[in-house]
Amino acid sequence: MFVDRAIITIKSGSGGNGAVTFRREAFVPEGGPDGGDGGNGGNVIFLADENMRTLMDFKYKKKYEAEKGQNGMKKKRYGKNGEDLIIKVPVGTMVIDEDSGKLMMDMTEHGQSFVAAKGGKGGKGNMKFATPTRQAPNFAEAGGVAKERKIILEMKLIADVGLIGFPNVGKSSFLSVATSARPKIANYHFTTIDPNLGVVQIYDSSFVMADIAGIIEGAHEGAGLGHYFLKHIERTKVLIHIVDVSGSEGRDPREDFDKINDELAKYSKKLTSKPQIVVANKIDILGCSQEPEDLEICEEYIRFREYIENKGYKVFPMSASAGIGVKEVLQAAYKLLQESEANYQDVADEYEYFDFEADDYDPDRKKVFGEFDGKAYIIYGKQLEKIFNSTNFNDISI
């Protein structure tokens, strides 16, 4: 199953508490403080891994928590730091903070990583609070709190060229003859229910091509498989628009072309600005070959070509099943890809990025709030909570 979206909860590790302990030595007041510091809590880190293909792992496990820091110990021993939790995601995954809706990181390269939730800082032991006038502090600092947040994982395929068109127009057939990919091919709609990737070897180079499954009218509103496929076109640099020029299913190929582009425009204006190659597939059904003299007497093809060329696109005749015109389409796609890479704008540029500095800064950290519930006055605040947790209420000297 191809899973390309998931919502999970992540939580960093809380910091360990500092220890309140004393040495047991003669002639040392109160034994002398020797409480060690608590360990830092583990961070939650996302790591892009090219060996992963979907977000299937996150369909069943929804909560991820890093290890807590160990509490400080006597004899000035520090607590162990909690281990970081590394969450691997496929390359092409966008990590989004659900509360703000802002993009935390777009994982576009293998090995790319970032800290999504920092662990709490370990608290200081009582030996750190000893002074000449306070030689036996009977308190220590509490560890820092963990950070918890909901995360949206949105995977969008990273491919150089995307194949678009109505269902059953020959996209999977084209991918199978142009690459070593083996998608399911059959004579019915929505044979492809998951996007397929293949690598095209051409000249001394290569590019990645994606079969974006059949788009239908109303896809921008979720009809058919709707957004499930349209979003995967966003990262492609060039589009190959395959049209069944034979009209074998009773549709007008010119209307097919307009409807697909209309769906792209309604989903995102950015998609219509991508370079597009138009392929008139299934010319063999019309009885046409790729020879120029045969094409010029093929009326259905000529009408389609003139209509498309008037819109500013070049048309390539092809029969994927017969292997006619495939090489020419790939060469044109490669040339257009080279030209378009300089002007390519990544999909992440459309998002507002999460501000990690502002997230670390808490304006309410030193503020104290209060409310009266009818019986008692309740005060609360993060700094107050930390002071409370750092107070030794068993100390009779308080």
Q: Where are the domains of the chain?
A: 5-155, 161-349
Q: What is the mean pLDDT of residues 208-226?
A: 57
Q: Which tens digit of pLDDT belongs to each residue from 246-287?
A: 887 788 999 999 988 888 888 878 888 889 999 999 888 887
Q: What angle do CA 88, 90, 96 make, to 5 degrees?
A: 80
What digits encode the pLDDT tens for the residues 222-252?
444 444 567 778 888 899 999 999 887 788 9
- pTM across the whole model: 0.73
Q: Into which CATH architecture does domain 5-155 fall? A: Distorted Sandwich (2.70)
pLDDT at 224: 41
Q: Give the residue from 238, 242, 244, 218 showing the smallest Cα distance to 229.
A: 218
In the chain, the percentage of residues whose pLDDT exceeds 90 is 35
More confident residue, 65 or 389: 65
Q: What percent of the chain has pLDDT over 70?
A: 77
CATH of domain 161-349: 3.40.50.300
Of the pLDDT bands very low, low, confident and very high (cuts 50, 70, 90), residue 373 is: low
More confident residue, 324 or 187: 324
